[in-house]
């Protein structure tokens, strides 16, 4: 069972049941899957994982209830799901995370028709979502976005490039952001569109291969035509939709980091107990014990920050920017330390490609960058402190 002791104060009985059920599902449906050995294998397995998540009813947590237009997802449930999936398979965590990322802008800003058309498929796992915002010149600096959307006939024509897009080439639709004009302050007016994968003029350019196999890639929009009803919300709503989504879901990135850290600690405890050196188990050495203690302390602190942020969001706190940024910054950095210690405890076995901690080592690093790098989170926290303290 998922350890909920440290964060039980932030969970109700329903969330405790979610924790038990996702742990059982992950153990039987996800953990037995062999980690993909290549980018191509990750693309095939991602679709298989989505089908399993859909059949198990887990994708429904990626969208709010059908009748709750503009509502947020159950963030504590999403955190519990991501934590447990990340411990079993970083790829499975990514699949679930993108179902959330691709659908939340539609949930909070889309029309009734858009919600009916796209969110039901996300919820049952029949549609794979993607979130297409990053560009070669626009990562953390969204104002550097160059993809344009101009009115054309009864819709829009999109031209530009997107890269570092998870599920590029395998998604069924892309929640995509483009410049539609210039704001009075001179900054670009950014709007949000739902672009079906089969849209004419949308092309998967290439895979971008990570150290841990992951379906990442680059997209090109060459006069890509979409109808007027592809626009989510109003022109210029893209910035608020994008950052509203990231703000809501940032705590779930922290939860994924906690999951990877939890798996690293569990693997380290098991290895330290059974591995002998100089006639003694590793667990008997004080330096090993120090590492294990430091890992456990970091993990509990990370989980407390994570579920505090999710709890505040779920109870309707107007802004949880500081809490979610604190959680992401601390949890992802702590997870990096924990996984690194796990590799050190395993010694040479820890850097074998078949080792679980080696996969965690290759997977955890990206969490400190995507959806707002640690340095950005520090700036967000500091500015909030200066403004509101």
| Mean pLDDT, residues 59-84 | 84
Q: How far apart are CA 15 and CA 341, in angstroms?
A: 31
Give the pLDDT confidence of 269-284 residue by residue, as tens digits: 999 999 989 999 999 9
Which residue, among 231, 248, 222, has the nearest Cα to 189 in the 3D structure? Answer: 231
Q: 3-state secondary structure string, 259-289?
A: HHHHHHHHHHHHHHHHCEECCEEHHHCHHHH
371 is catalytic: yes
Is residue 264 domain-shared with residue 370, that is, in the same domain?
yes
Q: How many domains does the chain have?
A: 3
Rounded to 5°, the CA angle 218-31-253 comes to 50
Gap between the Cα atoms of 249 and 255, Å rounded:
10
Q: Is 338 exposed, middle or buried (0-12, 13-18, 19+ CB in 10 A)?
A: buried
Does residue 330 lie in a domain region?
A: yes
CATH number (domain holding residue 85): 1.10.540.10
Residue 280 shares a structural domain with residue 216:
no
The last residue of a domain, from among 193, 218, 239: 239
251 plus 351 within the same structural domain: yes
Burial of 193 (0-12, 13-18, 19+ CB in 10 A): buried
Assigned domain for 3 exists: no
CB 225 within 8 A of CB 201: yes
Report the pLDDT averaged over residues 43-50. 98
pLDDT classification of 137: cutoffs 50, 70, 90: confident
C-alpha angle 356-262-341 in degrees, rounded to nearest 5 = 65
- Active-site residue, selected from the candidate residues 137, 220, 371, 375: 371
C-beta separation of 132 from 140 below 8 A: no
What pLDDT score was predicted for residue 1?
39
- Domain match, 92 and 118 both: yes
Query: Which H helix or E strand runs over 220?
Result: strand 216-227
**pTM, to two decimals:** 0.95
Residue 354 lies in a domain: yes
Question: Which pLDDT tens digit goes with each residue over 245-264?
Answer: 998 899 999 999 999 999 99
Domain, as residue range, for 293: 245-384
Q: 82 and 144: one domain?
A: no
Point out the domain boundary residue: 206, 239, 272: 239
Q: Judge whether 334 and 326 are in contact, CB under 8 Å.
A: no
Task: Single out the residue in 127, 143, 161 at which a domain terminates.
Answer: 127
For position 268, which CATH number holds? 1.20.140.10
Give the best-scoring range by mean pLDDT among 150-154, 207-211, 302-306: 302-306
227 with 283, same domain: the answer is no
pLDDT in tens, 297-345: 999 999 999 999 999 999 988 889 999 999 999 999 999 999 999 999 9
Same domain, 254 and 377: yes
d(CA 56, CA 21): 10
114-124 as b/e: b if 16+ CB within 10 A: bbebbbebbbe
Query: Hey, which residues does 177 pair with through a beta bridge?
Result: 192
- The H or E element that residue 149 is part of is strand 148-152
Residues in the chain: 389
Residue 177 host element (H or E): strand 173-182
**Shared-domain flag, residues 202 and 255:** no
211 within some domain: yes
Same-domain pairing of 148 and 117:
no
Q: Are 123 and 63 in contact (CB under 8 A)?
A: yes
Q: What is the pLDDT of residue 71?
A: 59
pLDDT in tens, 167-177: 999 999 999 99
- What's residue 319's pLDDT? 85
**Which residues on neighbouring strands pair with residue 114, listed in sequence order?**
none
- Residue 95 CB coordination number (10 Å): 29
What is the pLDDT averaged over residues 68-93?
89
Q: How far is the first Cα of the chain from the last one, in angstroms, to the nearest whole number?
A: 40
Q: Alpha carbon of 90 to those of 5, 48, 198, 359, 361: distances in Å?
A: 23, 14, 28, 9, 11
Same domain for 106 and 135, yes or no, is no
Is residue 258, in this structure, part of any structural domain at all?
Answer: yes
Asked if residue 262 lies in contact with residue 299, where contact means CB atoms within 8 angstroms, the answer is: yes
Contact assessment for residue 108 and residue 70, using Cβ atoms and an 8 Å cutoff: yes
Residues 279, 189 share a domain: no
Alpha-helical regions (H) of the chain? 13-25, 39-55, 75-88, 90-109, 112-114, 120-124, 238-274, 286-314, 321-346, 356-364, 374-388
What is the predicted pLDDT for the residue at 70? Answer: 52
Q: 122 and 171: one domain?
A: no
């Amino acid at each position: 069972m998922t350890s909920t002791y440290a964060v039980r104060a932030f969970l109700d009985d329903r969330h405790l049941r979610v924790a038990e059920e996702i742990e059982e599902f992950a153990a039987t449906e996800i953990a037995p899957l062999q980690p993909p050995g290549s980018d191509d294998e990750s693309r095939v397995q991602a679709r298989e994982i989505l089908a399993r998540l859909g059949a198990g009813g887990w994708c429904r947590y990626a969208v709010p209830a059908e009748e709750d237009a503009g509502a947020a997802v159950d963030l504590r449930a999403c955190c519990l799901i991501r934590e447990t999936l990340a411990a079993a398979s970083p790829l499975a965590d990514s699949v679930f995370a993108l179902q959330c990322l691709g659908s939340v802008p539609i949930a909070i800003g889309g029309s009734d028709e858009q919600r009916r058309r796209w969110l039901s498929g996300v919820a049952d796992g029949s549609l794979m979502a993607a979130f297409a915002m990053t560009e070669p010149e626009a990562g953390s600096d969204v104002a550097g976005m160059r993809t344009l959307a101009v009115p054309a006939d009864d819709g829009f024509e999109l031209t530009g490039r997107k890269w570092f897009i998870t599920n590029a080439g395998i998604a069924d639709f892309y929640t995509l952001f483009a410049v539609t004009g210039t704001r009075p302050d001179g900054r670009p007016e950014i709007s949000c569109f739902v672009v079906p994968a089969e849209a004419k003029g949308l092309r998967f350019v290439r895979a971008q291969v990570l150290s841990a196999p992951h379906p990442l890639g680059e997209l090109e929009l060459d006069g890509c035509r979409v109808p007027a009803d592809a626009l989510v919300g109003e022109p210029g709503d893209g910035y608020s939709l994008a950052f509203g989504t990231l703000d809501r879901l940032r705590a779930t990135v922290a939860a994924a980091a906690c999951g990877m850290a939890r798996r690293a600690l569990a693997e380290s405890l098991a290895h330290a107990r059974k591995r002998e050196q100089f006639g003694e188990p590793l667990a008997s050495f004080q330096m090993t014990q120090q590492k294990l203690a430091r890992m456990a302390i970091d993990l509990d602190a990370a989980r407390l920050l994570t579920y505090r942020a999710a709890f505040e969001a779920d109870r309707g706190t107007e802004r949880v920017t500081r809490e979610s940024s604190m959680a992401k910054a601390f949890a992802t950095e702590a997870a990096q330390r924990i996984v690194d210690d796990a590799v050190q405890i395993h010694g040479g076995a820890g850097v074998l490609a078949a080792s679980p901690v080696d996969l965690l080592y290759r997977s955890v690093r990206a969490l400190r960058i995507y959806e707002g790098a640690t340095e950005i989170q520090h700036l967000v926290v500091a500015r909030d402190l200066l403004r509101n303290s």
